[in-house]
Structures are given as structure tokens and as C-alpha cells.
Structure 1
Amino acid sequence: MPNFKENEFKPDHSTKSTLINHHNYITILMRSCHGIAHQCNNVFLTTSILNLLRWTLIL
């Protein structure tokens, strides 16, 4: 799994910025998943989706 900067996708109080960050995270996630397709599984994707939902609720 790629190493993200500590605050790169940390949610902020701007909904627009947060949505953009989520979009960027999903894009990177999908590229990473495509790049390591042989290692990509449902658990990895589910965990990532749950993290996105958790970050959304923080708003």
C-alpha cells in the first residue's frame, strides 16, 4: 500500500475541499489497486471505503 502524507487526506471543514480530497484518494486507491491487482482483494477495498465513510462522518 502506498504511503500517504500524514495530513494529505485529513478532512477539513470545507465540504468542497473534502470531496476533492476523497476523489483524489479514490483515484490514487484505484491506480494503486490496478498496479498491484494480484494483491488487491475485497478486504482492502472494503476497509478503504469504510475509512472514507468514517471521514465523511467527521464533518
Structure 2
Amino acid sequence: MAVKRDETHQDIAHNKVKIHYFHRSDSYHTTEVSNLPVLEGGQIKNPPTGFFDQIETDI
């Protein structure tokens, strides 16, 4: 993951990375936006249900 190492093998600080998760609310017909904090080492704190499921859908 790039948060751990970039192509020059330099660390990228986890607090310099922002991930915004967009989710459609079917009950209100709106889009909700959540900020997903990135922890040291590149892990995502409390990822929403289904966040990592896209690769399974693509396969």
C-alpha cells in the first residue's frame, strides 16, 4: 500500500492520506459521505460494511 511505501521506497505519512467513502442512502435518496481514518501502516480504521467487497464483485 502506498501509505507504507511509495515507488521511491519512502514512507508516506498516514495522516497525509484522506479517504472519503460515498454511500447511497436508499431511505432518504441521498448520498452520505464518510471520512475513513488511515492508521499507521496503512490500515483503515472501522471500514464500513462492504468497503472491501468490490474486488470480489469484480472477479
Same fold (TM over 0.5): no
Richer in strand (by share): 2
Richer in helix (by share): 1
TM norm structure 1: 0.22
Looking at both structures, which has the greater relative contact order when contacts are Cα pairs under 8 Å and sequence separation is at least 6? 1
TM norm structure 2: 0.22
